[in-house]
Amino acid sequence: MGAERTDPPATVAELEEGLRQLHRMEMQTKLHLERVEALVTAAIKVLHRAEIVHEKSVEAEAAEQRLKIVEARTGDARIWVGPEVDKYEVESPEIDCASLMHLCKARCCRLSVALDFKDLDDGLRWEYSRPYELRRRADDGYCIYSEKGTHRCDCYDKRPSICRTYDCREDKRVWDDFEAKIPAPWRDDVGVAPPLVQIRMPKK
């Protein structure tokens, strides 16, 4: 018989901290992979300049391989953590959402948003099957904080950094032509569960 445990069971807070650590590690692995990708890309360019390989043929081969890999991994679980920035300090693009909402229907709020740990501390809800993606409604694909009808953000003061910094003006999922105020064709499938994941990225 094993030794009897004398330490108290882990608390929810300890378990959550452990999970966050795992997810942080996952993000670091992703960053390492990005660095490797950059190195491989640079090596191909150097070889191309030296006329040892042709960049285009490598790109075509890589694109084909990537497609196969993505297809093979459809359904894999993934962890997605928002950018580590202070959301209360970031700058928002100057877009008059209130005057455009009747055209865009706030479709930015149907795109996937990654929460960061501050957002979790602020109590924002996430999709349990896709940590830590901001939760969206199953019936219309909008973020759960987007008020039905008005599209008002119910968590405006606590909204994630991606919501604060996202710039829709060049996003072809949102506008065919922002200056001419022509929205992109409406898509029923975007964001509706099971979701077609449409990542909403912060402004670079």
Can you give the binding site for ligand SF4, defined by CB under 6 A? 95, 97, 100-101, 104, 106-109, 113, 143, 145-146, 153, 155, 159, 163, 168, 174
Q: Integer distance in angstroms from the first to the last C-alpha of the chain?
A: 58
Q: Within a 10 A sphere around the Cβ of 151, how many other Cβ atoms? A: 19
CB of 170 to ligand SF4, least distance (A): 11
C-alpha Rg value of the chain to the nearest Å = 21
Q: Which of 81/108 has CB closer to ligand SF4?
A: 108
CA atoms within 13 A on the CB side of 1: 3
Spell out the residues 6+ positions from residue 5 whose beta carbon is closer than 8 angstroms to its own.
none
How near is the Cβ of 175 to ligand SF4 at its closest, in Å? 8
CB-nearer residue toward ligand SF4: 114 or 143? 143
* Those residues with Cβ within 8 angstroms of residue 6's Cβ, 6 or more apart along the chain or in another chain: none
Q: Which is nearer to ligand SF4, 79 or 153 (CB)?
A: 153
Min CB(65)–ligand SF4 separation in Å: 34
Residue 31 or 156 having the CB closest to ligand SF4: 156
Q: Smallest gap, in angstroms, from Cβ of residue 12 to ligand SF4?
A: 24
Q: Which is nearer to ligand SF4, 53 or 101 (CB)?
A: 101
CA distances from 51 to 48, 55, 69, 149, 194 (A): 5, 9, 28, 59, 47
Q: How far is the CB of 196 from ligand SF4 (least distance, A)?
A: 16
Output the furthest CA–CA distance in the chain (Å, rounded): 75
**Nearer to ligand SF4 (CB atom), residue 66 or residue 181:** 181
CA distance 169 to 179: 8
Q: What's the min distance (Å) between Cβ of 69 and ligand SF4?
A: 30
